[in-house]
Amino acid sequence: MTVMTPYRSGQRPGPDGFAQSLHAEWTKFRTVRGWVIAMIAAVVVAAGIGLLGTGAGTSTCQHAGGGPQRTGAACMITFAVGPGGEAVSDSFYFVRQPLTGDATITVRVTSLTGLLPSSSPNGPPAPTRPGLEEWAKAGIIIKQGTNQGSPYAAVMVAAGHGVRMQWNYTEDASGLPGAVGAASPRWLRLTRAGDVITGYDSADGTRWTQVATVTLPGLPSTVQAGLFTASPGDNQETQNFGGGVSGGGGPTQATAVIDRVSGLAGPLTGEYVGAATGSGIGQYRQAGGQFTVTGSGDIAPIPAGHGGPADSAATLTSYLLGTFAGLIALTVVAAMFMTAEYRRNLIRVTLAASPRRGRTLAAKAVVIGAVAFVAGLVSATVAVVAGTAITHARGYYGFPVAGPTVVRVVLGTAALAAVSAVLALAIGSMVRRSATAVAIAIAAIVLPYFLAVAAVVPLGAADWLLRITPAAGFALQQPYPAYPQVTAIYSALSGYFPLAPAAGLAVLCGWTAVALAGAAWLLRRRDA
């Protein structure tokens, strides 16, 4: 009896693993010339739009007192730079004396009043009507020196925010709430022990509460210490359709009454630190143990692009403005990387060669995500490096940003491109039609960002769009923090987002994970 055995090919079967699927998908991508050209175009467009804005920007101004109009660098305004490399306003009235070694300064603030700009449209604004700017402040300060941007720590009363301790311009901690007045005075105390400064507050001068303790590295033995008053400019900004910011207002002033001063001995000197906003209002009077200190200006960071002088500066955000256009090209390619196989009926061949459909989708996601990451990295690097060079070559002012932040933003832009491309791929896998997939991807990723930047929707609605849609991933490009102690319009146009970069990435990744799961489920259930 003859036993028949099934035929077996003499050729050994080839490997069928994830690495082979990756190689196959990468080969598909790089051999389609149109996709490669589109990725290069995405890099050029994303970098080019930012560079065009940087190179074409001009400014025209006329200095006080008349004379010819000036353009370009002659109009640029520069700012002091704080210990962390940020642009800062360091302008206030200071009643000071040198202070050597460790010490404790205690005061009582019994009154804080002020003047706001007149609402009259005639003539330049001036502080002429009673009122307080919400961040008008007065108290005691220890400062490395009187040069602008030098480290400091201060404990103060703020008109609309109770007791605060602020240091090195960007940091802020809250103390006793409520407004100061004759019936509700605030006692303030600063102690120095080497580089460590501690702030306290009290409602009665007996029971003290610590507000914050900070370290100012390298603080010299002799510092400048004393009383201060500051009042920021009255900032009445509105964001208009198209993203423009318009504003009004003018300089303000605040007057504080301070007594029960201890820890300051010897003669005091009253002077402005820096150039106060407007006319440089400031003075102090001493009657016995009571000081009346009037000042203007602010001790705080300057937000980028908030409708004031900072609009004259080139920002990291402006260099990356073309990212949304590059993402449009990336989403087209990513969606077609999947839908083209359905259109040409090649998906049957792909799944026959690699029957594990989930693995095939994963391989496509890795390939398109990696390609998009490289494209985003190259475009962001070119835009930032070339944009900075153009800004310096034109003699314009570049808004300061720390080196690690630049690196984080560039890598974040690359991550935004990568995850967005994977989301577009998943959408393409679900709908199978190129035009529909591209339209959905652009509507989900790019359109909410565009509506927010162009101020097509109100600022509150724009914030929600950038919280709950995949466009939340644009928060990865935020180079500057929004400061709660500075009143300004923090909008996407200026590079501010309602979510932190990590939270924005999490929202985008969440949408992408859901879309990939849906794509994998449909790919397994539907016929090729």
Q: Other C-beta atoms within 10 Å of 438: how many?
A: 22
Instruction: From residue 190, give the alpha-carbon distance in Å to each of 155, 166, 328.
Output: 7, 12, 55
Residue carrying the six token digits 């009896």: 1
CA 371 → CA 213, 270, 357, 422, distances in Å?
48, 61, 21, 10
Confidence (pLDDT) at 8 = 43
DSSP, collapsed to helix, strand or coil, labels residue 68 as coil
H/E stretch holding 290: strand 290-295
Averaged pLDDT of the chain? 85
Could you tell me where the beta strands, DSSP code E, fall in 28-132? 60-61, 70-71, 80-81, 87-90, 92-100, 103-117, 127-130
Quickly list DSSP for 162-200: EEEEEETTTEEEE-S-S--BTTB-EEEEEEEETTEEEEE
**Residue of 172, 201, 198 lying closest to 184 (CA atoms):** 201
9 pLDDT band, cuts 50/70/90, is: very low
Question: Are 253 and 295 spatial neighbours (Cβ–Cβ below 8 Å)?
Answer: yes
85 Ramachandran zone, left/alpha/beta (phi>0; psi -120 to 50): left
Q: Which pLDDT belongs to residue 126?
A: 65
pLDDT of res. 482: 87
Q: Which helix (H) or strand (E) holds 285?
A: strand 283-287
Instruction: Compute φ and ψ for 57, nearest 5 degrees.
Output: -65, 135
In this structure, the dihedral spanned by the alpha carbons of residues 496, 500, 504 and 507, taken in order and rounded to 10 degrees, is: -140
Q: How far apart are CA 246 and CA 243, in angstroms?
A: 10
Residue 472 or 55, more confident: 472
- Give pLDDT tens digits for 438-478: 999 999 999 999 998 887 888 788 899 999 999 999 999 99
pLDDT at 124: 52
Q: Which of 88-92, 172-176, 238-242 has the highest mean pLDDT?
A: 172-176
* pTM score of the predicted model: 0.81
Which of the two residues, 55 and 201, has the higher pLDDT score? Answer: 201
Give me the residue label for tokens 């989708």.
361
Q: Distance (Å, rounded) from C-alpha 478 to C-alpha 516?
A: 27
> Hey, how many other C-beta atoms are within 10 angstroms of the C-beta on 474?
31
How is residue 254 annotated by DSSP?
E
Q: In the prediction, which pLDDT does 11 show?
A: 42
Q: How far apart are CA 163 and CA 108, in angstroms?
A: 12
In sequence order, the 6+-apart residues with CB closer than 8 A to the CB of 186 are: 108, 109, 157, 163, 176, 180, 201, 202, 203
pLDDT of residue 441: 95
Beta strands at 137-143 and 152-158: parallel, antiparallel or unpaired: antiparallel
Task: Give residue 296's pLDDT band: very low, low, confident or very high (50, 70, 90).
Answer: very high
Candidates 122, 166, 113, 162; CA nearest to 140 is 166
Least confident of 4-13, 88-97, 413-422: 4-13
Instruction: Look at residue 121 in the predicted model and tell me its pLDDT.
Output: 47
Distance of CA 70 to the CA centre of its chain: 31
